[in-house]
Amino acid sequence: MLGAMSSSLLCNVVTSTSSSDSIACRLDRRVVVVTRSLLRAISHELRKGRVGIPEVSGRPLKVARWTAMFRMRSSEMEFLAEQELVSVMPFFELKENGGLLHGISGDFGPFHPSMATHVPLWLAIKLKQLNKCRILQPSWFTVEHLMERLEGENTSEAFESLPFHYLEIATLLLKNAPDDMEQAEKMRLILEDIQHTRQEKIRNGLCVLAKDVQTGGSAHAVQLNNVAAMEINSVRQFMTKSLKKFYELNVMGGAEVISQSQSQSQASSMDATPSSVSRLRRHR
């Protein structure tokens, strides 16, 4: 079915002009934009809570199996991050349709030389590989900004605010457009320090949760503000299993307390019964 749709879909990805024809013939593999759009829609629905747990043979999957299904490789995380918009400076001009490229996920452009425009990261990388544009450095992806974030990570227990796919976007930009990024190698080192610092915070948070459970606390859920997609993906399976174990320990501890209190109440009631009877007999 996808094969039958590919020709018509490709016609919608890029406008047929003299400049875009050469782009279109090299973008034939980007028909997977259908899959990208579907994944983006599913991700949006999941965040909004509109997609429920799937069912197999009429029975819902267990939450642990459901979360394990969504563990992704780093390449798959980069695939999702390529939907994020970046700015490019085109080296070509499209004259038809107002200079716009019509895609399934939207219209991009206009494309005029020396006029910056926003496009998805995957399209920016493809145009860069064809020497059709220069990728503009994102405002958050500078040495000064990253140094501020690193300092904040080191001085605060909270996570600094960064783009949700900052690791994937940085990796793709440094890999495909290092000549467009100022001080690329220095930023690579700073990003590694930020990543290690944030991973250490996540590990410390898990240790704190474990200690709380050991001392009788509860840990049914964990709030992780400003944690990025790659960081969530790296601890998702371990985190869900840990929370499940913490919940089981908490429930078992509560059951033991209830059973102990019930046994104590039964013992006290048995001890109190003869004395109450004797008192009633004395008052007869």
C-alpha–C-alpha distance, residues 55 and 142, integer Å: 46
160 has pLDDT over 90: yes
Mean pLDDT in the chain? 73
Q: Which of 96-100, 240-244, 260-264 reaches the highest mean pLDDT?
A: 96-100
Residue ranges per structural domain of the chain:
1-50+62-136, 143-263
140 has pLDDT over 80: yes
Q: Decide which of 205 and 17 is more confident.
A: 205
pLDDT of residue 184: 95
Q: Do 1-50+62-136 and 143-263 fold alike per CATH?
A: no
What percent of the chain stands above pLDDT 90?
A: 40
Q: Decide which of 176 and 15 is more confident.
A: 176
Q: Decide which of 255 and 117 is more confident.
A: 117
146 has pLDDT over 90: yes
Place of tokens 């020709």: 7
The CATH code of the domain at 143-263 is 1.20.58.1020
pLDDT of residue 115: 93
User: Averaged over 256-268, what is the pLDDT?
Assistant: 51
The CATH code of the domain at 1-50+62-136 is 3.40.5.50
256 has pLDDT over 60: no
Q: Decide which of 254 and 243 is more confident.
A: 243
pLDDT of residue 240: 80
- CB burial readout 1-29, b (16+ within 10 A) else e: eeeeeeeebbeebbbebebbeebbeebee
pLDDT of residue 104: 85
Q: Decide which of 116 and 279 is more confident.
A: 116
Place of tokens 């300092």: 151
Band (pLDDT 50/70/90 cuts) for residue 82 is very high
pLDDT in tens, 263-280: 555 555 445 444 443 343
pLDDT in tens, 31-75: 334 344 444 544 554 455 444 433 433 444 344 344 444 578 888
pLDDT of residue 134: 97
27 has pLDDT over 70: no
User: Averaged over 247-264, what is the pLDDT?
Assistant: 59
Band (pLDDT 50/70/90 cuts) for residue 246 is confident
User: Averaged over 74-79, what is the pLDDT?
Assistant: 89
